[in-house]
Amino acid sequence: MELTAELPPFFVWDAELAGLGAYLDWLERRGVKELLWTPEPAGFREVEEAMAGRGLSLTAVLPNMSLYARDAMDAGPTGAVLKRFKALGPLSLAELGLRLLPRTPALLEKRFAAGIMLLADAEFLRLKSLPIGRVALHNSAVDMALALGCRELLTEFADWARARSVEGVVLTCNAWLWDQRMKEWGGPSPGIEVRPTGPGMWSEYRPVTPEARLAAWKKRAAS
Partner 1 sequence: MIKVGIVGMGKMGLTHAAMLEVLSPGCIVGVVEAGRGNHGTIKSLGLRAPVYSDLESLLSAHALDAALVCTPTFTHFSIVKTLIERGVAVLIEKPLAENLEKCAALAKLASEKKAITAVGYSIDFDPLFTEARRLLPALGKIKRYTAWVEHAEVFGPKKGWLFQKEKSGGGVVINPAPHMLFYLLEAFGAPKSVRARLNNPYSAGVEDEAEVALEHDGFAGTLSASWSVPNKPVLELSLYVEGDKGSLAVNGDEILIEEGGKVRSIRREDLPAEQVFELSPQARAANYYREDRDFLEHARRRTAPRNSIENTLKVDRLIDAIYRAGASGQAVSWS
Chain residues that interact with partner 1, rule: CB under 8 A: 9, 11, 65-66, 69-70, 73-74, 109-115, 139-140, 143-145, 147-152, 173-174, 176-177, 197, 209-211, 213-214, 217-218, 220-221
Shorter beta-carbon distance to partner 1: residue 22 or 107: 107
Shorter beta-carbon distance to partner 1: residue 84 or 138: 138
Distance of CA 20 to the CA centre of its chain: 18
Shorter beta-carbon distance to partner 1: residue 59 or 197: 197
- Nearest approach in angstroms of CB 11 to partner 1 is 4
Distance of CA 168 to the CA centre of its chain: 12
- Nearest approach in angstroms of CB 34 to partner 1 is 20
- Nearest approach in angstroms of CB 88 to partner 1 is 23
The closest alpha carbon to 156, from 203, 209, 107, belongs to 107
Shorter beta-carbon distance to partner 1: residue 28 or 40: 40
